[in-house]
Amino acid sequence: MLMRAAPPPLGSVYQQVMDRLRGLTLLDAASALTLFLVVVFGFDAWWAKFVGYAAFLVFLLHPPSIKTWPFWACIAAASSLGLLAAWYAADNHKYLLAYWLWVITLAHAVKPESFQDKFLVSNARFFAVFIFLAAALQKFFSPTYMSGEMFETLLLLDERFRAFAQLAGIDAAIPDAAAKIVTLLKSPMSIVADNQLIFPSNDRVNFVAKLITWYDVYAQLAIGLLFLPGRRVTDLAGHCVLLFFIFTTYLPAPVFGFGWTLAIIGFVLAKDRFRHLPLAYLAAFVAILLYQAPWREWVLQI
Amino acid sequence: MEQASGGAKRWLITWCIPAIAMAVFARQVYLNKHHQLSTWKGGGMGMFAAADGSINRFAKVYLISPKRGRQPLVRLTMPQKRLMDSALWYPVRGSFEIVANAIFATSWAAGDQLTPASLVDSTGAQTGKAAQSYYMLYPFGTRSPDEKPDWELEIEYWAMAYDPATRRITAKQIAAHRFGAAS
C-alpha cells in the first residue's frame, strides 16, 4: 500500500526558509540577488548584456566564481561602460545599479573577511539614504512636481500609467483627448493660437495626481530620514516604509530593476539585524516579478 | 600607527563609491540647472521629480533649401527618432548634432502636392487653413557620402508646461539650432 507523505505544515516551511536564509552569508545572498538583477534587469548595451549572460553561465558551471572579485569587476566594468556610452539618456536607477555592482566587487575584494559585511552594510545604508533624500530634495525644489503638474500630465499622457489611471476611476476618454491635444501642439502642421490649448483634465485627475505627488515625496523623505541614524527602532520603521514603497510603487511604475535594487539594499540592511524582515524582502522580490504580469492589458480590456 | 593607517584605508575604501555618487549627483544638478539635462536622467536620483521628461519635451525639424524654402520633417526614421528621443533628455547643440548628422545621411523625397497647415483654436478644434503650406517629406534611403545635401537643417527644441490651476497646456520654443551638411 502506497503511503503519501503529508505536506509539511506552513510553519515548518516558514522555519525552513528562515533557516536556509540564515545559513547564507550576507555577501553570498547579496551577490546572488545582484547577479539576478544584472541578468534580468541589467543594461541595454549589447556588450553589457553579453558580459552579464556570460557571467551567469560561468556561475552555473562554476558556482564559487560568484565569490570572487574579478567575476564582479568584469560585470561592473561592462555595466559602467554601458552607462557612460549613454550617460545622459540613462535612467537614474542604472547609475544606482552601476554603483551597486562596484560595491559588490569591492566587498569581495576587501580584507579581512570580517570587514566585508561592514563594508556592504555601510554602503547599503549610504545608498538607502542618498537615493531617497536626493529624490525628495529634487522634488521639493521642482515647481512642476510640487504643483502636481508632473503626475497630472503623466497620468493622462504616459501609456504606462493608462491602466492605473483607469483603475483610479479616470475616464478612459480623457487620456485619449489629452493625447490628441498634445499631438496638435507638437505638430508643425498645426498653427495653434499662442501655442496654448485647454487640457482635458478634470478634478478627479487633479486629485489623484496630488495624492500620488504627496505620497511619493513624503514616503521617500521618510525612508531617507529613517535610515539615517542607524538605530534599531528607526531602521525598523525605515524598513516598513521602504517595503510599503516597493510593494505599492512598482505595480503602477514599471521600473522593475529599480525596485529590485531597492529590495536588495533593504535586504542587506535587514538580514543580520532583524529576524523576520528578510523574508518580507523576499516577498518583495516575488511581488516585483509578479508585477510584470500583463495586468495593464487586462485592465484596459475591461 | 599601522592600526590607524588600516582604519584610514578602510574608511577610504568604504566611502569611495559614495563619493563618486555624490560627485555625479552634484554634476547632474549643475547640468540640470544650466544645460537642461532632464531630472530623470544623469544620476541625480530625481526620477518622477519634474515635468521635464520625454512627454514634456519635443523637437520640430525643418529642412531649409533654396528651392523649396523651409519644410518640416514630420516623419523621421526609427533610428533617427531614437536619437532624437535621446537628445531631448540633454537638449544641447551637441546632442542635436548627432540627430542632424543622421538626417543628413538620409535622402528625403517630397510629395508633389503642398499640404496646408491647419489653424487650431484653444479647444483643439480646426478652424481653417493657414497661409503656410508644406511638402510632405519622406525618408528615401541612405545618401551616398559623395552626395552633399543642398539644404540645411534647423532643429527647434520645445518644452510643454501645464498649469493645473487654469488647465491650459502651453508649448514654448526654447532654442533653435541650425546645421549645415558639413557641420
Mean pLDDT of chain A: 93
pLDDT of residue A125: 98
Rg, Å, chain A Cα set: 22
| CB-based contact, A95 to chain B, within 8 Å | yes
Q: Does A93 have pLDDT greater than 90? A: yes
Backbone φ and ψ for B180, nearest 5 degrees, come out as -95, 165
pLDDT of residue A23: 85
Over residues B2-19, the pLDDT tens digits come to 555 688 999 999 999 999
Same domain assignment for residues B31 and B109: no
- Cβ B41–A181 below 8 Å, yes or no? no
Same domain assignment for residues B26 and B68: no
Q: Does A8 have pLDDT greater than 80? A: no
CB A109 within 8 A of CB A131: no
Same domain assignment for residues B150 and B72: yes
Over residues B66-101, the pLDDT tens digits come to 888 889 998 899 999 999 999 999 999 999 999 999
Core vs surface per residue B30-49: b (16+ CB within 10 A) or e: ebbeeebbbbbbbbbbbbbb
Same domain assignment for residues B70 and B45: no
pLDDT of residue A218: 97
Closest residue in A to B37 (Cα–Cα): A88
Over residues B113-171, the pLDDT tens digits come to 888 999 999 999 999 998 888 988 888 888 887 888 889 999 999 999 999 999 999 99
CA–CA dist A50, A39 (Å, integer): 9
Q: Does B183 have pLDDT greater than 90? A: no
Same domain assignment for residues B171 and B118: yes
Instruction: Select from A128, A125, A204, A134 the least CA-distant residue to A165.
Output: A204
As a whole number, mean pLDDT of residues A55-80 equals 97
Instruction: Select from A186, A52, A75, A86 the least CA-distant residue to B57.
Output: A186
Same domain assignment for residues B45 and B120: no
CA–CA dist A246, A131 (Å, integer): 14
CA–CA dist B171, B127 (Å, integer): 19
pLDDT of residue A9: 77
Over residues A231-265, the pLDDT tens digits come to 999 999 999 999 999 999 988 888 899 999 999 99
Same domain assignment for residues B20 and B64: no
Q: Does A1 have pLDDT greater than 70? A: no
Q: Does A281 have pLDDT greater than 50? A: yes
Q: Can you give the residue range of the structural domain that contains B86?
A: 54-179
| CB-based contact, B162 to chain A, within 8 Å | yes
Our count of domains for chain B comes to: 2
Over residues A122-177, the pLDDT tens digits come to 999 999 999 999 999 999 999 999 999 999 999 999 998 999 999 999 999 999 99
Q: Which of B24, B86, B130 sits opposite A89 (nearest CB)?
A: B86
CA–CA dist A268, A33 (Å, integer): 10
In the DSSP assignment, the letter for residue A91 is B
Tell me the pairing of strands B152-163 and B57-65.
antiparallel
**Which residue reads 553570498 in cell numbers?**
A28
Same domain assignment for residues B79 and B161: yes
CA–CA dist B32, B52 (Å, integer): 10
**Which residue reads 549610504 in cell numbers?**
A126
Same domain assignment for residues B92 and B112: yes
CB B106 within 8 A of CB B123: no
- Cβ A193–B47 below 8 Å, yes or no? no
Q: Could you write out the DSSP letters of every residue in A103-138?
A: HHHHHHH-SSHHHHHHHHHHHHHHHHHHHHHHHHHH
Same domain assignment for residues B80 and B141: yes
Q: In a 3-state reduction of DSSP, which class is residue B4?
A: helix
Same domain assignment for residues B84 and B157: yes
Query: How distant, in Å, are the alpha carbons of A133, A153, A253, A299 from that of A149?
Result: 21, 6, 17, 25
Closest residue in A to B14 (Cα–Cα): A119
ipTM of the complex, rounded to two decimals:
0.91
Domain end residue (candidates: B49, B73, B89): B49
Q: Could you write out the DSSP letters of every residue in B40-71?
A: TBSSS--TTSSS-STTTEEEEEEEEETTTEEE
Q: Which residues in B lie closer than 8 A to residue A111 (C-beta atoms)?
A: none
Q: Does B1 have pLDDT greater than 60? A: no
Same domain assignment for residues B37 and B101: no
Q: Which helix (H) or strand (E) holds A206?
A: helix A203-226
